[in-house]
């Protein structure tokens, strides 16, 4: 009575749960995907390229007006290989940990195009071991400091940071 090793579908019961992530990102798929990406999607990909790994809460703070909107859009980007994610281990009884988001293949191609580079010139490589990587805690704390600093500037425009590489202000609606 062993468990099945088939991949679990996300959002069971939802109409979009039947769609699996593509194994490869073809040129045709990228062309089609580009029509559905927003400027915010491009900024999310660029920010993840620069900061490597961010949590759902951090991305919500930087780019979205609500957690639900963040989850929906991040799931779209995940399903289309712009982003990847993992859930770090948590102690039993502490609930499901926040998703940790990374750039994925389509996202790397998008970021390379934003820099007028070929994907191979970007210097990005997919990491399968972030969940157990020894630098994960340090990377998350560094990113938390940056997002907390940006959050402080969002509350008081007088303290606004220079826009060089920082995400746009959150929408108010």
pTM of structure: 0.72
Domain annotation covers residue 5: no
- CATH number of the domain that residue 150 is part of: 1.10.10.10
Q: What is the pLDDT, as a whole number, of residue 8? A: 38
Note whether residue 89 is domain-resident.
Answer: yes
Instruction: Give residue for tokens 């281990």.
Output: 89
Domain that includes residue 147, residue range: 27-124+133-159
**N residues, the chain:** 173
Q: What is the mean pLDDT of residues 6-27?
A: 52
The number of folded domains in the chain is 1
Tell me whether residue 165 is in a domain.
Answer: no
In this predicted model, what pLDDT tens digit does every residue of 61-91 receive, in sequence order? 999 999 999 999 999 999 999 999 988 877 7
Any domain includes 70: yes
> Structure tokens of 87?
């859930």
Round to whole Å and give the CA distance between 20 and 162: 40
């Amino acid at each position: 009575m062993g468990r099945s090793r088939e991949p679990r579908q996300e959002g069971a019961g939802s109409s979009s749960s039947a769609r699996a992530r593509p194994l490869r990102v073809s040129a045709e798929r990228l062309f089609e995907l580009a029509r559905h990406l927003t400027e915010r999607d491009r900024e999310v990909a660029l920010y993840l390229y620069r900061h490597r790994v961010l949590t759902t809460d951090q991305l919500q703070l930087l780019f979205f007006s609500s957690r639900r909107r963040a989850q929906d859009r991040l799931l779209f980007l995940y399903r289309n290989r712009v982003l990847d994610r993992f859930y770090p281990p948590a102690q039993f009884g502490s609930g499901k940990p926040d998703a940790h988001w990374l750039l994925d293949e389509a996202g790397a191609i998008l970021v390379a195009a934003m820099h007028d580079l070929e994907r191979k010139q970007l210097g990005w490589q997919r990491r399968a071991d972030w969940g157990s990587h020894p630098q994960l805690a340090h990377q998350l704390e560094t990113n938390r400091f940056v997002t907390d600093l940006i959050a402080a500037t969002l509350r008081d425009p007088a303290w606004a940071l220079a826009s060089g590489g920082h995400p746009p202000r959150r929408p108010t609606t």
